[in-house]
Amino acid sequence: QVKLMESGGGSVQPGGSLRLSCIISGYTATTYYMGWFRQAPGKEREGVASIWTGNAKAYYANSVQGRFTISLDDATNTLYLQMNSLKPEDTAMYYCAADFLSPIKTAQQALSPHGYDDWGQGTQVTVSS
């Protein structure tokens, strides 16, 4: 059974940084997509960043490009999201997710919550002064 567990959320002032972690276990695939998604109250869940483990190609939403970095540590099966220059509009519940079935995704597909079947429980990020 695949399990994903996020950590690292918290409260930070605008301009600050946080690093989210997601430990994944219970899988056997060697190449797959993993992503970070977020959902603010009253809004739909949206893709933030995703990565194809085959060649570490990363995809970013325009709203976080240049501020957030997604990375994967194969040795510890941990997905990271380094978030810098945080803004109040980054406030949301952040989820990590995995897709072991899709062979190839376009950039739009890689950032869409649809197609990701395994999800963590989420970690809250609040950016406020």
DSSP 103-116: S---HHHHT-STT-
pLDDT at 101 over 90: no
Q: Give me the chain's average pLDDT, please.
A: 95
The residue type of 61 is A
Phi, then psi, of 14 in degrees rounded to 5 = -55, 140
pLDDT digits (tens, 9 = 90+) for 8-47: 999 999 999 999 999 999 887 878 999 999 999 999 999 9
Q: What is the pLDDT of residue 36?
A: 98
The residue type of 99 is D
pLDDT digits (tens, 9 = 90+) for 47-93: 999 999 888 899 999 999 999 999 999 899 999 999 999 999 999 99
Report the percentage of the chain scoring pLDDT > 90.
84
Q: What is the pLDDT of residue 81?
A: 98
pLDDT at 118 over 90: yes
Q: What is the pLDDT of residue 19?
A: 98
Say which residues have a Cβ less than 8 Å from residue 59's Cβ, sequence separation at least 6.
47, 49, 50, 51, 107, 110, 111
